[in-house]
Structure 1
Amino acid sequence: MVDWVIRTVGDFGLPGVFFLMFLENLFPPIPSEVIMPLAGFASAQGKMSFVGAVVAGVLGTLVGNAVWYELARRIGADRIRPLVERYGKWFAITGEDMREAEQVLRKYGPVALSFGRLLPGIRTLISVPAGLVHIPRPVFYFWTALGTAVWLVFLASLGLLLEDHYAEVDSYVEPLGYVVVALVVGGYALHLLRAWRRSRARSQG
């Protein structure tokens, strides 16, 4: 996966960054923590604009999140709750998780949307309850874009600031990328196990 991310950024430039960030928000195991530092490296080498890389990343994130937000908004909470209760454990989501997310969004909507962008997994899943509780579209897209921009500027800056050490760091990018992917997938698997256990405990109780 990491090899593919590196090739996509190198071969396709800004459209590649957009595409990868779009996928990152559909399939969380493709982490922005790998994509955007590589875009920063490319910017440091003059292969793409730093601002362009951030803008492409933000746009890809918005489009990816729009899929979940608009789908959830269209389906509605009343129809999706029974599905979550029955099948959510296989996706590390329980009815309790959904209710808690809805409460947080109703109380701290803009803040939750912005800070949710900084948390792996949460930055994608938060779009679902945001759509279910019908957070206004201007609020959702503005605060999602703002939180995403802050996070992606930070990640891309890491690659940009390491320009002078690019030759030494380049050999570590791939193995570190695998570590990040492994941590994200491992965390997801752990959350999946906990959700399954909670669901099983409730059914037995």
Structure 2
Amino acid sequence: MEDWIIRLVEWGHYWGVALLMLLETVFPPVPSEVIMTVAGVSAARGNMNLWGTIAAGTAGAMLGNWLWYWLAIKFGEARMHVFIDRYSRWLTLDWAEIERGHGLFRKHGPIIVLVARMLPTLRSLISIPAGLFGMSLRRFLVFSTIGTAGWSAALASGGYFLGSQFDDIEKWLGPLSTVIMVGILGTYVWRLVRWKPSPTPADARSDIHPEA
């Protein structure tokens, strides 16, 4: 995977970084950890400016973030409820968890969005509850941009440091990409195996007052 990321960054420079980060946001298995690290390495070698690299990565990711936010609004709560109920097993998520998230969003929505932008997988998915639960576009853009820029800056700076210290940085990128992808897949499988639907009110009552 890292080979085509390196080629696209070398070919497109800032546009390549922005496009890759857009793809990462829309299709999370494309890891931003590798994209922005590669971009930072390229900046260290003089192909791009570090600040421009961070800005390009942030802009591409934010376009994808806004897209998910907009789709969540258009999809609507009723259709989302049906979708979650139908595919809850594979999503490892049910509507009861969505409702709990709604309560948290009412109290701490901006902070949740900001922090989630710097966490694996949640970086992309957090746009959906933000749109679904009615977060204002202004707040969504402000706090998403802060978190996304921080994440992009951390990764690009790490790549910049590595690129300035080691000539043969490519040998690190293959194992890094593999570890990230295995980690993402492993986390999903772990959730899939352990996930159980939230108890219904009837289930809760039967736990408290079991039948004789």
TM-score between the two structures when normalised by the length of structure 1: 0.90
- Give the counterpart letter for 1:90 in structure 2: W
Partners of 2:2 and 2:174 within 8 A in 1: yes
Partners of 2:26 and 2:124 within 8 A in 1: yes
Which runs of structure 1 show a deviation greater than 4 angstroms over 4 or more consecutive aligned residues?
none
- 1:149-193 CA distance string (max 9 Å, x none): 111111100011123322143311122211112112221232234
The answer for the alignment partner of 1:184 in structure 2 is 184
1:136-151 map, 5 Å: 136-151=136-151
The answer for the alignment partner of 1:39 in structure 2 is 39
Q: Relative to structure 2, which stretch is displaced further, 83-92 or 12-21?
A: 83-92
1:189-204 map, 5 Å: 189-195=189-195, 198-199=196-197
The answer for the alignment partner of 1:123 in structure 2 is 123
Counterpart-to-counterpart distance in 1, 2:174 and 2:49: 22
- Give the counterpart letter for 1:159 in structure 2: G
Counterpart-to-counterpart distance in 2, 1:181 and 1:188: 11
The answer for the alignment partner of 2:207 in structure 1 is none
TM-score between the two structures when normalised by the length of structure 2: 0.87
Q: Relative to structure 2, which stretch is displaced further, 72-81 or 31-40?
A: 72-81
Counterpart-to-counterpart distance in 2, 1:7 and 1:162: 18
Per-residue deviation, 1:34: 0.7
The count of corresponding residues between Structure 1 and Structure 2 is 201
Counterpart-to-counterpart distance in 1, 2:192 and 2:80: 19
Counterpart-to-counterpart distance in 2, 1:22 and 1:199: 32
Change (3 A) 1:4 1:144: same
CA RMSD of aligned residues (A): 1.8
Q: Relative to structure 2, which stretch is displaced further, 99-108 or 64-73?
A: 99-108
Counterpart-to-counterpart distance in 1, 2:159 and 2:15: 18
1:25-36 map, 5 Å: 25-36=25-36
Partners of 1:2 and 1:178 within 8 A in 2: no
The answer for the alignment partner of 2:8 in structure 1 is 8
- 1:59-105 CA distance string (max 9 Å, x none): 11111111211111122212311221122332333223322322222
Per-residue deviation, 1:9: 1.4
Partners of 2:26 and 2:64 within 8 A in 1: yes
Of Structure 1 and Structure 2, which has the larger fraction of its residues in helix?
1
Partners of 2:93 and 2:197 within 8 A in 1: no
The answer for the alignment partner of 1:79 in structure 2 is 79
Change (3 A) 1:67 1:45: same
Per-residue deviation, 1:201: 8.0
Counterpart-to-counterpart distance in 2, 1:104 and 1:4: 40
Question: Unmatched 5+ residue regions in structure 2?
Answer: 204-212
- Percent identity over the alignment is 36
1:170 aligns with 2:170: yes
Question: Unmatched 5+ residue regions in structure 1?
Answer: none
